[in-house]
Structure 1
Amino acid sequence: MSIRLILVDDHAVVRSGLRMLLENEDDIVIIGEAGTAQEAVDIVMQAGPDLVVLDIGLPDLSGIEAARKLKQIDPEIAIVALTIHEDQEYFFKMLEAGAMGYVPKRAAPDELLTAIRTAARGEVYLYPSLATLLVDDYLRQDKESRRAREMNGLTEREGEVLVHLAEGATNAEIGELLEISPKTVARHRENIMRKLNLHSRTELVKYAIRKGIIEP
């Protein structure tokens, strides 16, 4: 069964190049082109394509807003973002907007074809370097979540003091870093030791390492 798609990019020369690439594929049929988000919306409402190859930089709406709008019209439509942007901000926002694929314009033609076919099956395709961003972000959030769970009822400030104490900083150094007095640091330290049932800095350091709060 053929994949019916539309091409959305404000540069006619880009659309022409994409058409030349995709028209050679037996399982892909191009049913329309658009240079703006509104044109894309009109085509989707009239023709009901299976998939949209969508540039992020459109003149009337951002590709992110365009993706949201297209998904509101047809929640089942697959969207593959084709863009010059490879930073995290655009990448994550497009995924949140409902894109099933994200391919930089510098990618090889085969990468785009793979993304289109993968998204058309209802699966997510991520360009390798961008997939790494996603994994790194997950690991970072997981580490932060684990750290929060291991604070055992400590306040945010006590958690900050705990990290600095475990790293070997003195009360005076911590006070300077956090812009509080050494006496306030000492009070936080007492609360930390009491809440965690610790009795020495050595125990505190061991606790922080064991719980993954600091690296050994």
Structure 2
Amino acid sequence: MYENQTDLASILTQLFEHSDILISKLVPELLQSIRDTPLGPIDPTNALIERAIAIIHAWNVDDQAEFIIAHPRIGEIRQLSALSAKEQSGGLSATTMVETHPDVLKRLEHLNACYERVYSELRYITFVNGRTRAAIAREMEDKLQLGHPLENFPDGPPMNEPVVESLSCVAKNSEEWLNELTRAVDDVGKIAKSRQSSLGL
């Protein structure tokens, strides 16, 4: 099942989202790892995901960051894979995801900009696990230590507060930045395991 680069690239693209680094680096390294130490016969796809995540964690931080930004931003509604669309709609079909309230989408767009200001070169990744976009917005606000205008200003929330440029940047390669990178890679693994179940792999 995972004996050549074409087959492996196909399944990893479904599990992790397509990216250049997935094709050029993860696929050949994972294939070599499997040849050196074959996956066990019990739940080989789960073992494949765990092996892939371990390999990614061993990469330098620039390569890890390049890998995670292949995932779409929370709240994006265009050019999503079918699985990303379903995940971001709280497990609903891709056609229902556009029903997310415009205020929530606007807030998420701003929160993504805030996050990428604070954690330069990273992208906010989280295992949605059936939660709504509004719930993820609250999670992002908590991560960034911001308020919750969607809840506190129902008649006209200040969606673009705080000003992105007013936020302090976390130094790249600092402990906080590296912890966030590690968490993002781990959540990509959780997403992949959820997709494995959805796809029946």
Q: Which has the higher strand share?
A: 1
TM-score by length of 2: 0.24
More helix by share: 2
Q: TM-score, normalised by structure 1?
A: 0.22
Highest Rg: 1 or 2? 1
Q: Higher relative CO (CA 8 A, sep ≥ 6), structure 1 or 2? A: 2
